[in-house]
Amino acid sequence: MNSQPGSVIFLLAAALSAVFMGTIGAISVYADVGAETVTFYRLFIGALLTGAVLVASGQKSALLIWPGFKVLITGAFLAGFVVFYIMAMNYTSMANAIMLIYLAPVTASILAHFLMGERLALKNAALIGIALLGFAMMMEFNFNLSGRKNEALGLFYALCAMLCYAAFILTNRLIDGKIPVLTRSGYQMLAGALCMLPLVLQGTGDITIAQWAWLITAGVIPGFLAIMLAVVALSALPAATFGTLAYLEPITVVTLGWVLFDQSLNTLQLSGCALIVVSGILQAVIQQRQSPQPATGQGLATP
């Protein structure tokens, strides 16, 4: 691409990628099928369309590249992230689920500090503290879940989704950079879909036409279009810029939860959301200045 990094077209692509990724929660609610079914079709249709783009654009050789077992492992983490996220929203608010998941970059940074020798600077540790404070505000400083079984279960599933995404971030760093981005993304989605296939085959009950429409939408919008737009944006934007725009995803999720499902937040919770978002953006900027990284670790727009 010959356009300038700050070109509006690439900024718009990154923004739309994040917004489209943020629709999976609402789509799963309207689909009204099991989380494993939504996850399978979101990933499988996304993988098929990604492969179709490679073939149609004359990049068939990229499709035939063996991605390696590390890519397949990240696909399993991707499936875990999506299915647990959807399950979490069955028991807690969309805002609680997405904001807990957005602690994944924080968790990845802490794990990388101990496991990968990526030392945390004081300013990074301070931003992690701010993000954790933001989540405490989201919970209104009330961590006593006694008598709130559904809330506890929702937060547990969101925690599982967050850990899967943190693992996705870390294992992606180990993948050979020579593997084309679309090849990597396509095989990750395919591997994730195959992880869900046994669960889908065990499911019972017919899927209505309306539900099929929502499942296809899940594969096209947060599955395929979000990935393609992310690839377009990453071809020109710095990682920090992409990472900043990726935080439109939790804003989209919170907004959809409020508009579509009346999941409103009070001032304290909104302030907590703001702290998590601002902390993540500053982390992205600092990481870019310290050691440029692929934007895949900066937000949820690329899985």
* Highest mean pLDDT: which range of 110-114, 147-151, 156-160, 241-245: 156-160
Is the pLDDT confidence value at 13 over 70? yes
Of the candidates 120, 118, 117, 109, the residue with the CA atom closest to the CA atom of residue 243: 109
User: How many other C-beta atoms are found inside a 10 Å radius of the C-beta of residue 151?
Assistant: 16
Indicate the pLDDT class of residue 142, thresholds 50, 70 and 90: confident
Task: Calculate what percentage of the chain has a pLDDT beyond 90.
Answer: 39
Of the candidates 142, 132, 39, the residue with the CA atom closest to the CA atom of residue 89: 39
Is the pLDDT confidence value at 295 over 50? no
d(CA 147, CA 282): 37
Is the pLDDT confidence value at 154 over 90? yes
Q: What tens digit of pLDDT does each residue of 32-91 get? A: 999 999 999 999 999 999 999 999 988 888 888 888 888 889 999 999 999 999 999 999
Is the pLDDT confidence value at 5 over 60? no
Is the pLDDT confidence value at 113 over 60? yes
pLDDT at 250: 87
Yes or no: say if 10 and 235 are a contact pair by the CB < 8 Å rule.
yes
Tokens, residue 54:
């490679």
Yes or no: say if 269 and 133 are a contact pair by the CB < 8 Å rule.
no
Task: Please give the residue that has the higher pLDDT: either 189 or 114.
Answer: 189
Using alpha carbons only, what angle is made at residue 247 by residues 188 and 108, rounded to the nearest 5 degrees?
55
